[in-house]
Chain A
Amino acid sequence: MTRETLISLAIVLALLAIPLWATAAGETFYITLATRMAILALAAVGLNIALGLGGLVSFGHAAFFGIGGYAAGILASHAFNMEPLPFGLPGTNAMPVIWIVAIVASGLVALAIGAISLRTAGVYFIMITLAFAQMIFYFAISWPAYGGEDGLSIFVRNQFPGVNTLNGLSFFFVCFTLLIASLGLFSLLRASRFGAALQAARQNEQRLATVGIAPYRIRLAAFVISAMVTGLAGALFADLNRFVSPSMLSWHMSGELIVLIILGGVGRLAGPVAGAMLYVAFEYFLGGITERWQLFLGLLLLAVVLFARGGVVGLLAGKARHG
């Protein structure tokens, strides 16, 4: 086992330990906090596929996060009100169905956004992904059918067969299991031929093209997979808060997802998990001390970017073996 594998394992176990401790100590609030960590980590693992492996700095992943959230919110509200969706389809409160819809919807939108954005690179790519996410944000605000600016409430948390999701600990385990699955997907992708091509596209596009692989399609596939994982996290996030609003689509959310990865370590397996834990803990504890916690978050972030590149995982496990 390498040092990084050990560190990754320790980080994931630490996340698992929080709700177990909280249940034993009767501090149920910390279960919610840990669930939030797991869901944000899942969203960031998704982004890490595009950003960490592919070097695609997407500043618009909030779009997919929000689309996942709205998938959960819209399906649940139709099920709750017994109103059929267009084409006579019923709404649903079954999580597996909602997840599939969230994944498919964010994947399709990512296919469209990616197909246009990936024609460009560098700063253009950053700005265009940001602009498209903003387009969806404004659409959600001005579309009155599902709450517009006020958002949409999910009155009862959606159901998973055989699990009582109303119980905080059970819902945590649902989210945690999906997080572990996404980490499995990330390492599978990283070790696969596809992952090798994707990382080669980041490191040296010309060389990849010379061996006969077109970078565009590899990147587009990575962008879509990445969006799907983030969309799934969005559906869970809506269920955690029992509420979905355009703020899930806002560009602050996109920035936050990138921040999670940077705090944890770009392209590292457990980077997003460490980043999400650190971020949520920071938000909670500093937010308890001062209303101005974002000021200190900004200063911390500046310090990390300027002086401590590599994030938590980089600090603990040393540099990644490959650039």
Chain B
Amino acid sequence: MQTALLIEQILNGLQFGVMLFLMAAGLTLIFGVMGLINLAHGSLYMVGAFACATVAAATGSFWLGLVASLAAAAAAGALMEITVIRRLYERDHLDQVLATFALILVFSEGTRWIFGSIPLYLNIPPLLAGAIPLPGGSAYPLYRVAIIGVGIAVAIGLHLLITRTRLGMRIRAGESDREMIGALGVDIRTLYTVVFALGAALAGLAGAMVGALQSVQVGMGEPVLILAFVVIVIGGIGSIHGALVGALLVGLIDTLGRFLLPVALATFMGPSAAASIGASVASMLIYVFMALVLAIRPRGLFAAAG
């Protein structure tokens, strides 16, 4: 039984990590190409979840909701980029932090205005409602396995996009020398909008998929956003590979820490003390890990050169 539980927790950790990757990939891409720190990325996650929940409730189809979440988050991202973000590329990080913090306030209150404060609920699609058996006799929800699958597919897709396509070539060129690719006749402004919308769509996808596991509410993006920051700091800002490794590490350490620490502490202290101390320490574990990584490699595990 204990092994089955452990396998289940490892899968939970993977699912969490994959979801963090979807957020972190967009953040790190936007930072790598445009040099922008976007706090409002969590708002795009929220937009995706709300779009999916609304469309799924209206049409009865989760899949239409998923499409809507991608479209809505990409559109919100493009709008954000064109109206506000575009003016921030040349500014220092303080201005970027503040302007995107202001965007969070606008998005959160705007969403609360439209949808109210009551959380929305999103059902898991019937196709994925089942469970798959695990060795040891227990079962694991198919939907969570599907999330892991989507995350892996997105990781492969992004890798191919960046290494094999013309758009990817431009993204890489934009990371290394934006003036040069402008001089070569690439429309930088459009490229930036496209990259931003792509990152936004990934955040929206994450929001929609997680929306079926948790409730869809205002402010749901913020804890995830901060974890995504931890992920890209660990992985090295600007690196997609770093984001993937960082996300999986953070997902696994967080989930397994919460599961294993109370058990480990219970071997030499009372069960209730072990539970409360274990929970408190487990909630700090990923930050301690981040501090360790930074103490050894201040620019993250997969820091881009220069």
Residues on A facing B (Cβ under 8 Å): 51, 57, 59, 116, 119-120, 122-124, 126-128, 130-132, 134-135, 138-139, 141-144, 251, 255, 258-259, 262, 266, 292, 294-295, 297-299, 301-302, 305-306, 309
Contacts and interface: CB of A to CB of B under 8 A. Distances in A.
A301 B37 contact: no
28 contacts: A51-B94, A119-B295, A120-B298, A126-B97, A127-B232, A128-B233, A128-B294, A131-B226, A131-B229, A131-B287, A135-B283, A135-B284, A135-B288, A138-B283, A142-B279, A142-B283, A258-B98, A266-B94, A292-B109, A294-B108, A295-B109, A298-B103, A301-B98, A301-B99, A305-B95, A305-B99, A306-B84, A306-B87
Interface string B270-304: 00000010011001100110110011001100000
Contacts, number: 114
A274 to B, nearest CB: 16
A142 B258 CA distance: 12
A295 B113 contact: yes
Interface string B71-88: 000000000000010010
Contact of B37 (A126, A142, A292): A126
A170 B105 CA distance: 35
Contacts of A128: 233, 290, 294
B265 to A, nearest CB: 14
Contacts of A127: 37, 229-230, 232-233
A127 B27 CA distance: 12
B155 interface: no
A139 B284 contact: yes
A258 B94 CA distance: 9
A123 B101 contact: no
B104 interface: yes
Contacts of B37: 123, 126-127
B103 to A, nearest CB: 7
B106 interface: yes
A148 to B, nearest CB: 9
Choose among A128, A131, A299 the residue with the greatest number of B CB atoms under 10 Å from its CB.
A131
Contact of B290 (A131, A142, A144): A131
A298 B109 contact: yes
A123 B294 CA distance: 14
A295 B97 contact: no
Contacts of B112: 292
Contacts of B103: 298, 302
